[in-house]
A and B are shown apart, each in its own frame.
Chain A
Amino acid sequence: MLELKKLSKTYKNGVKALNGINLTISQGEFVYIIGSTGSGKSTLIKIIDGEEVPTSGRCEVIGINVGKLKHSKVPIYRRNIGVVFQDFRLLEAKTVFENIAFALEVINAPKSLIRKRVREVMNLVGLDDKGHSFPNQLSGGQQQRVAIARALANRPMLLIADEPTGNLDPEMSNDIMTLLEKINREEQTTILMVTHDRELVNRHLKRTITLDSGHIKSDVLGGGY
């Protein structure tokens, strides 16, 4: 479902963030991407999300050549994937409920369905009582969970999460991991998760890809840190 071929990205300022990445991920896989800071993890995710365009090589997701998408088609492509960003990217002027609902409104879902699904995912991430709060009234960990709930709302085929447990205490991290595993298992959602959390990677063993200054250093099934 995801195929990267000789993918390279050089930013305008000359930084070579990715260098000839080859990678194939199948439907239903759960994959960690680890690596030291600045190794290119977020860049990889931005390319898969269509936010950055590869300098060379190819990024294909569910048969779509993401780098070649027209500007106006990028959002439509994104309806197939859910992304949890490192910086959350919540709409400050909207409540938690509205933030999550927005991902469904843009695909013009009926109101009753939206209400039902939003309650579902809020319950899933354990935020039942925060529907009317605004993002700036929440802790970092709570905002992160809102971001996860929003990414899950329209049942994406691929869920990408950039450090979804970065701001959570170990217990909460564990809950989130259990949640992601459940989604992966029950909805066959492919999950791509960037993390720095050694302990978590070692406790929940999965295929682990290690990035090092833009290269894939290792790609181990059931790897660990």
Chain B
Amino acid sequence: MANFFRRVTRHLKEGFWGVIRHGSMSISSISAVTITLLIIGVFLIFSINVDNITKDIEESVAIVAIVSFDYEEQTELDRIETSAKAISGVNDVIFSSKDQEWEYYQNLYETEETAAIFGPFQDVNPMHHAFQIEIENGDKIEEIATGIEAIDGIDSVEYGGASAVMLVSALNSIRYGGFVLVMAVSALAIFLIANTIKLTIYARHKEIGIMRNVGATNGYIRSPFVIEGMIIGFIGAIIPVTLCVFGYIYVYDLLGGVFLTEMFVMIPPHPFVLLLVAILSGTGILVGLVGSFFSVTKYLRWKR
């Protein structure tokens, strides 16, 4: 145990010293991490927000199916409900009686005057029974609406219409495009960082050979390099994390929490920024770790 502790302390010390002693190389690696994490951070903020907005809008895109006056018996209603539930892409079917609909409708415009206007007609309910159809996602809204309209006893269906569908599909494309982009940028970034680390370690391949000469095992040689890589990744993440967190909070306040229109609600900074901190610093540290691990391993093989 004392031995293990001694060894860990040594590696940590070596790792920290390594960053300082190889100052210019450390700075170039740190810069690579900083730049790429900044890019990743911006794309990440953008695509997570788009993802969230898309989900919000999708959820609000529901279908209302109006039941014909001729099919108001309970058996018919049950049959319609079962048929609707059987359609693929339908999450849930909620019955809303004509009384509920009428009440909802009146409440929609509830003021002193409307109450006065509707008052006398309280008993002549003009509303139909209705079903609210919740769907899995906006992609298939048109298809599902057609399917429901075809059920015997449905008078008509109402939903956000073609524009809502188009918006959802547009957002979906942006969302998927965004994620592909984040992945591509991340891959590129990781490649860039790993390559920089490889170059800085190449400059020290002699050092690695000498360590083996004096009896250091591969694991022993690797550890300080890996710790060095992690420190570089961490330091490199400081600026991107700070900029992304405070930048996001600033932009959020500036735009009042919505992007362009009231429909595009931004994710509230708390606790979203914590996720950003975790992802960005985690990526930095992980890439530093993996990059240096593989680079050292490569040069270890060079020399017997």
* Co-complex (A, B): yes
A interface residue numbers (CB < 8 A to B): 49-53, 71-72, 74-76, 78-79, 83, 85, 89-93, 102-103, 105-108, 110-111, 150, 154
Q: Is the CB of A105 within 8 A of B10?
A: yes
Q: With a CB–CB cut-off of 8 A, which chain B residues contact A93? A: 21-22, 207
Q: Is the CB of B304 within 8 A of A91?
A: no
Q: Is the CB of B214 within 8 A of A106?
A: yes
Q: With a CB–CB cut-off of 8 A, which chain A residues contact B122? A: none
B interface residue numbers (CB < 8 A to A): 3, 6-7, 10, 21-22, 206-207, 209-218, 220, 301, 303-304
Other CB < 8 Å A-B pairs besides A74-B212, A83-B213, 15 of them? A50-B304, A72-B218, A75-B216, A76-B215, A76-B217, A89-B210, A89-B213, A91-B210, A93-B207, A102-B211, A102-B214, A103-B214, A106-B211, A108-B3, A150-B214
Q: With a CB–CB cut-off of 8 A, which chain A residues contact B217? A: 72, 75-76, 106
Total A-B residue pairs with C-beta atoms closer than 8 Å? 61
Q: Is the CB of B22 within 8 A of A52?
A: no
Q: Is the CB of A108 within 8 A of B6?
A: yes
Q: Is the CB of B218 within 8 A of A107?
A: no
| Assembly CA distance A193 to B18 (angstroms) | 35
Q: Nearest residue in A to B2 (C-beta to C-beta)?
A: A110
User: In angstroms, how far is the closest chain A Cβ from the Cβ of B51?
Assistant: 46
Q: Is the CB of B207 within 8 A of A92?
A: yes
User: In angstroms, how far is the closest chain A Cβ from the Cβ of B275?
Assistant: 39
User: In angstroms, how far is the closest chain A Cβ from the Cβ of B11?
Assistant: 10
Tell me the dominant secondary structure on chain A's binding face: loop
Q: With a CB–CB cut-off of 8 A, which chain B residues contact A91? A: 207, 210-211
| Assembly CA distance A49 to B214 (angstroms) | 10
Q: Is the CB of B304 within 8 A of A74?
A: yes
Q: With a CB–CB cut-off of 8 A, which chain A residues contact B304? A: 50-53, 71, 74
Q: Is the CB of A90 within 8 A of B210?
A: yes
| Assembly CA distance A86 to B206 (angstroms) | 15
User: What are 13 A-B contacts defined by CB distance under 8 Å?
Assistant: A53-B304, A72-B217, A75-B212, A75-B217, A78-B215, A83-B213, A85-B213, A90-B210, A93-B22, A102-B211, A106-B214, A106-B215, A108-B3
| Assembly CA distance A173 to B291 (angstroms) | 46
Q: With a CB–CB cut-off of 8 A, which chain B residues contact A72? A: 217-218
Q: Nearest residue in A to B22 (C-beta to C-beta)?
A: A93
Q: Nearest residue in B to A81 (C-beta to C-beta)?
A: B215
Q: Is the CB of B213 within 8 A of A78?
A: yes
| Assembly CA distance A105 to B3 (angstroms) | 11
User: In angstroms, how far is the closest chain A Cβ from the Cβ of B207?
Assistant: 6
| Assembly CA distance A150 to B216 (angstroms) | 13
Q: Nearest residue in B to A100 (C-beta to C-beta)?
A: B214
Q: With a CB–CB cut-off of 8 A, which chain B residues contact A52? A: 304
The 4 nearest A-B residue pairs measured at CB: A106-B216, A79-B215, A103-B214, A78-B215
| Assembly CA distance A50 to B220 (angstroms) | 19
| Assembly CA distance A102 to B3 (angstroms) | 16
| Assembly CA distance A85 to B6 (angstroms) | 29
User: In angstroms, how far is the closest chain B Cβ from the Cβ of A192?
Assistant: 16
Q: With a CB–CB cut-off of 8 A, which chain B residues contact A90? A: 210
Q: Is the CB of B301 within 8 A of A75?
A: no
Q: Nearest residue in A to B300 (C-beta to C-beta)?
A: A71
| Assembly CA distance A93 to B204 (angstroms) | 10
| Assembly CA distance A76 to B211 (angstroms) | 12
Q: With a CB–CB cut-off of 8 A, which chain A residues contact B213? A: 49, 51, 78, 83, 85, 89
Q: Is the CB of B216 within 8 A of A110?
A: no
User: In angstroms, how far is the closest chain B Cβ from the Cβ of A91?
Assistant: 6
User: In angstroms, how far is the closest chain B Cβ from the Cβ of A105?
Assistant: 6
Q: Is the CB of B220 within 8 A of A106?
A: yes
CB within 8 Å for A103 and B7 given contacts A52-B304, A91-B207, A93-B22: no
Q: With a CB–CB cut-off of 8 A, which chain B residues contact A105? A: 10
Q: With a CB–CB cut-off of 8 A, which chain B residues contact A78? A: 212-215
User: In angstroms, how far is the closest chain B Cβ from the Cβ of A78?
Assistant: 5
Q: With a CB–CB cut-off of 8 A, which chain B residues contact A150? A: 214
| Assembly CA distance A92 to B209 (angstroms) | 13
Q: With a CB–CB cut-off of 8 A, which chain B residues contact A74? A: 212, 304
Q: Nearest residue in B to A102 (C-beta to C-beta)?
A: B214
User: In angstroms, how far is the closest chain B Cβ from the Cβ of A103?
Assistant: 4
| Assembly CA distance A79 to B220 (angstroms) | 14
| Assembly CA distance A75 to B10 (angstroms) | 19
Q: With a CB–CB cut-off of 8 A, which chain B residues contact A103? A: 214-215
Q: With a CB–CB cut-off of 8 A, which chain B residues contact A50? A: 304
Q: With a CB–CB cut-off of 8 A, which chain B residues contact A75? A: 211-212, 215-218
| Assembly CA distance A9 to B3 (angstroms) | 40
Q: Nearest residue in B to A79 (C-beta to C-beta)?
A: B215
| Assembly CA distance A141 to B122 (angstroms) | 110
User: In angstroms, how far is the closest chain A Cβ from the Cβ of B180?
Assistant: 41
Q: With a CB–CB cut-off of 8 A, which chain A residues contact B210? A: 89-91
| Assembly CA distance A154 to B217 (angstroms) | 16
